[in-house]
Amino acid sequence: MILVSWNVNGLRAVVQKGFWDWLAGSGADVVGIQESKIQTGHEADFGHTDQYKTVWCSSTVKKGYSGVGCFYRAEPLSIAMELPDPAFAGEGRLLHLEYEEFHFFNIYFPNGGRGPERLAYKLGYYDAFLAHAEELRKHKPIVVCGDFNTAHTALDLKNAKANEKTSGFLPEERAWLDRFVAAGYVDTFRLFTTEGGHYSWWDYRFKARDRNVGWRIDYFFVSEELRPKVKRAWIDAAVMGSDHCPVGLELDCR
């Protein structure tokens, strides 16, 4: 089973840059996108694909904001939107597709860079997600992908020292990822690639992508039970169209 995640930073924009051709050639069984920025009620405009069914979770609190979507060929047992805690619902940040072998989460985690209140919201969202995942994990494993909006270690961004006081690399954000890993969740990319220099997001300014001055903030994590089934994990940095690039995971689900 091939799973792909991509923060498209506006589906309308990336459709003008070859998104449908990319999707058709991706070979993925499930594609999770983040920052769709689609308004509720407009999702049907983006369901035109013969290969995939679609499901959307769009923001209900602000137009053209946030939003996640899934394109899937493998039919899920069930689909849910948002976290159960209503304090963290409404921004269109989470889709949960339940499969026989695992729970699949596609999440656009909050950005903590807009002041203390949003940082607190981000950290609270992290905690609420982990509590939810741990409850579901009692019955079957977890796969979670998306834009976590945090680089975990100094290997995961170009200029670690200069960003120690920047949201996305703050000690408290990184500490949550430490706790997540300690709880038994595996950063699949690091099973195959241990060196730095591999990023999934580049600032549009300063020709950052041309110079590979980036951050790795898009991930596929699996709960420890799935580690033996991980066959590949990758970053597809050659795919253009967004300030993020796709990341992927292949699982042996036999």
Q: Which residues belong to the active site?
A: 108, 147, 244
198 is in an annotated binding site: no
Q: Is 161 left (phi over 0), alpha (psi -120 to 50) or beta?
A: alpha
DSSP 38-69: PPTT-GGGG---SS-EEEEE--SSSTT---EE
Rg from Cα positions in the chain? 17
Using an 8 Å Cβ cutoff, are 247 and 217 in contact?
no
Helices and strands per DSSP (H, E), number in the chain: 4, 14
Q: Which of 183, 192, 35, 185 is nearest to 106 (CA)?
A: 35
| CA distance linking residue 34 with residue 92, whole number of Å | 9
Show Cβ contacts of residue 90 under 8 Å, excluding neighbours closer than 6 positions: 59, 60, 61, 82
Dihedral of the alpha carbons of 36, 38, 44, 46, in degrees to the nearest 10: -40
Using an 8 Å Cβ cutoff, are 110 and 121 in contact?
yes
| CA distance linking residue 3 with residue 111, whole number of Å | 24
96 is in an annotated binding site: no
236 is in an annotated binding site: no
Token digits for 189?
């990319």
User: Token pair 């769709």 is at which residue?
Assistant: 36
Helix, strand, or coil (residue 122): helix
212 is in an annotated binding site: no
- Residue numbers belonging to the annotated binding site for Mg(2+): 7, 35, 147, 149, 243-244
Residues of the binding site: 7, 35, 147, 149, 243-244
